[in-house]
Amino acid sequence: MSEQKKSTPAGDVYEWYTRGLQLLESGDPAAAAQLLERAALAEPNARNVLEALARARLSTRHYDLARQDFGRLVAMQPDDDYARLGLGLSLARLGDFSAAAEQLALAVAMRPDRADYEEKLQQVRATLRARTDPRGGGHTPS
């Protein structure tokens, strides 16, 4: 039996995707990422697979891979608010707060009804202010 045969999970791409989603939702993003990586290799243009993989990578703290995946989603569909949110979160985790704020602001503009998007944007903007304020975070003297 070849090495590839041993490492290929049972089932087809759709089964890998659905099992990956189940693992992601049940709190096992590392196992989900393994299945979803396999599915993404087999179906590289499947947006639903790529989004699930990006979520799993963000949850497993593989921020650069998540940034790449969410970036691909944005390139495929620029008006995807969730992809913009994920890209912004990934960029923030990588320390690129300016780029993160830009992506999060776009997500908020697309979905102003989402308070969670606004909250993430405000957190990133607060971090930017704290890093640029020479007084150490914008605290007012007492």
Each residue's pLDDT tens digit, 90-140: 999 999 999 999 999 999 999 999 999 999 999 999 999 999 876 655 444
Residue 5 belongs to a domain: no
Q: Do 75 and 34 fall within a single domain?
A: no
What CATH code is carried by the domain that includes residue 82? Answer: 1.25.40.10
Q: What is the pLDDT of residue 10?
A: 78
What does the mean pLDDT of the chain come to?
A: 91
Q: What is the pLDDT of residue 137?
A: 52
Residue 68 belongs to a domain: yes
Mean pLDDT within 65-91:
98
Query: Within 10 Å of residue 129's Cβ, how many Cβ atoms?
Result: 12
Q: Do 20 and 48 fall within a single domain?
A: yes
Q: Do 40 and 101 fall within a single domain?
A: no
Residue 141 belongs to a domain: no
CA–CA distance, 117 with 8 (Å, rounded to integer):
37
Q: Do 125 and 69 fall within a single domain?
A: yes
Mean pLDDT within 65-84:
98
Mean pLDDT within 58-70:
98
Q: What is the pLDDT of residue 136?
A: 55
Greater confidence (68 vs 132) lies with: 68
Residue 110 belongs to a domain: yes
Q: What is the pLDDT of residue 9?
A: 77
Total domains in the chain come to 2
Supply the range of the domain harboring residue 107.
Answer: 63-132
Residue 4 belongs to a domain: no
Alpha helices in the chain (DSSP H): 3-7, 13-25, 29-42, 47-59, 63-76, 81-93, 97-110, 115-132
CA–CA distance, 110 with 50 (Å, rounded to integer):
21
Q: What is the pLDDT of residue 142?
A: 38
For residue range 44-61, what is the model confidence (pLDDT) as tens digits?
999 999 999 999 999 999
Residue 109 belongs to a domain: yes
Q: What is the pLDDT of residue 68?
A: 98
